[in-house]
């Protein structure tokens, strides 16, 4: 494994980050394809054994059980200081707004719950999961700064936002003496490259770490079309993101397979090797041991400039999808995305 500095921090992270959305009680959340505790812990431990020290989860993943499984594995198998833990908090709910729960208190409540789930004393990277249009930005930044000053959080990141929002937030943080966002977790892979328009140039200019999610397009960049998996069949949210562009994306996927055969490696390794030329540490979901092996192998695969151009050449512009499809959503819309299929409130 190779390691890299996470933007403007003193954290040194593995070149690939293990995404933990696939871990968590499959009967307690919006996904039915996630792994129960024993299987989740086995894969996390395999990642640790392979040198992956960077793990990304969220309080919204299977009602906090993803955090619980990750924390239990860390506490059982490794020293806390040897692992970089990232987790994410959701926007205020309509109920919180009605009850006048401030942005600052909302963050405090979520930090406390995540630390309880993880059974850890601090979070290395605490991520604003999606832009909250119903809460003043100042309140969010002040709340995050408070938990940093208290030692509960080391650094803060942001996910699912536009470049102008990240720039605005960090400008306000600088003017108020608050901590700045040090990383962005956006949607970026070989078949969805819209982050290259504004976000990637902003991050390169300000040394903001890039840790994109959906690095393999929910498995689409790791297998040829027609080769199904449990997640491909049951992940309704991923279908919303990719189903409408299947035809135009297929040529890129075929080229990934062609290069994989030429190099004698997996499609996963080719897809991630391309992404590693662009970003700090892509988030790679793993629900099988071979997924971990593919992610680790990608770190040592060097694509030529001709390879990179060959993979990129068929790309056409894509419409924004998922959380980013609308540039302004209500609290209830956010809840629909993340809580529609959950049985319990966080």
User: Which amino acids are annotated catalytic?
Assistant: 61
What backbone phi and psi angles, to 5 degrees, belong to 99? -90, 10
Neighbours of 102 (CB within 10 A): 16
Residue 268 CA to residue 32 CA, distance in Å, equals 23
Residue 121 CA to residue 139 CA, distance in Å, equals 24
Return the HEC string of the chain.
Answer: CCEEECCCCCCEEECCEEECCCECCCCCCCCCCCECHHHHHHHHHHHHHCCCCEEECCCCHHHHHHHHHHHHHHHHHCCHHHCEEEEEECCCCHHHHHCCCCHHHHHHHHHHHHHHHHCCCCEEEEEECCCCCCCCHHHHHHHHHHHHHCCCEEEEEEECCCHHHHHHHHHHHHHHCCCCEEEEECECECCECHHHCCHHHHHHHHCCEECCECCCCCCCCCCCCCCCCHHHHHCHHHHHHHHHHHHHHHHHHHHHHHHHHHHCCCHHHHHHHHHHCCCCCCEEECCCHHHHHHHHHHCCCCCCHHHHHHHHCCCCCCCCCHHHHCCCCCHHHHHHHHHCCCCCCC
Neighbours of 293 (CB within 10 A): 16
Beta partners for residue 157, in sequence order = 127, 183
């Amino acid at each position: 494994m190779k390691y890299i500095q996470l933007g403007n921090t003193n954290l040194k992270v593995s070149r690939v980050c293990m995404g933990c959305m696939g871990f968590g009680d499959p009967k307690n959340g919006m996904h039915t394809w996630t792994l129960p505790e024993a299987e989740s812990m086995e894969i996390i431990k395999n990642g640790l054994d392979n040198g992956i020290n960077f793990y990304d989860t969220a309080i919204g993943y299977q009602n906090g059980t993803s955090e619980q499984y990750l924390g239990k594995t860390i506490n059982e198998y490794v020293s806390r200081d040897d692992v970089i833990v990232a987790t994410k908090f959701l926007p205020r709910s309509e109920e919180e707004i009605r009850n006048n729960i401030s942005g600052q208190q909302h963050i405090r409540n979520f930090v406390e719950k995540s630390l309880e789930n993880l059974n850890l004393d601090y979070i290395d990277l605490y991520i604003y999961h999606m832009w909250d249009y119903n809460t003043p930005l100042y309140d969010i930044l002040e709340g995050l700064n408070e938990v940093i000053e208290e030692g509960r959080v080391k650094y803060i990141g942001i996910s699912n936002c536009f470049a102008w929002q990240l720039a605005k937030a960090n400008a306000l943080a600088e003017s108020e003496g608050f901590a700045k966002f040090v990383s962005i977790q956006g949607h970026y892979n070989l078949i969805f490259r819209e982050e290259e328009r504004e976000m990637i140039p902003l991050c390169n200019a300000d040394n903001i770490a890039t840790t994109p999610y959906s690095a393999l397009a929910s498995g689409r960049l790791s297998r040829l079309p027609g080769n199904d998996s449990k997640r491909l069949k049951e992940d309704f949210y991923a279908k919303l993101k990719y189903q409408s562009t299947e035809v135009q994306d297929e040529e890129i996927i075929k080229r990934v397979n062609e290069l994989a055969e030429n190099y004698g490696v997996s499609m996963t390794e080719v897809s991630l090797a391309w992404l590693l030329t662009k970003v700090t540490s892509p988030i790679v979901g793993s629900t099988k041991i071979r997924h971990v092996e593919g992610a680790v192998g990608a770190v040592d695969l060097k694509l030529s400039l001709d390879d990179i151009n060959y993979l990129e050449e068929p790309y056409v512009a894509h419409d924004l999808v998922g959380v980013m499809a609308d540039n302004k959503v209500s609290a209830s819309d956010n809840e629909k995305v993340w809580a529609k299929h959950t049985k319990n409130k966080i």
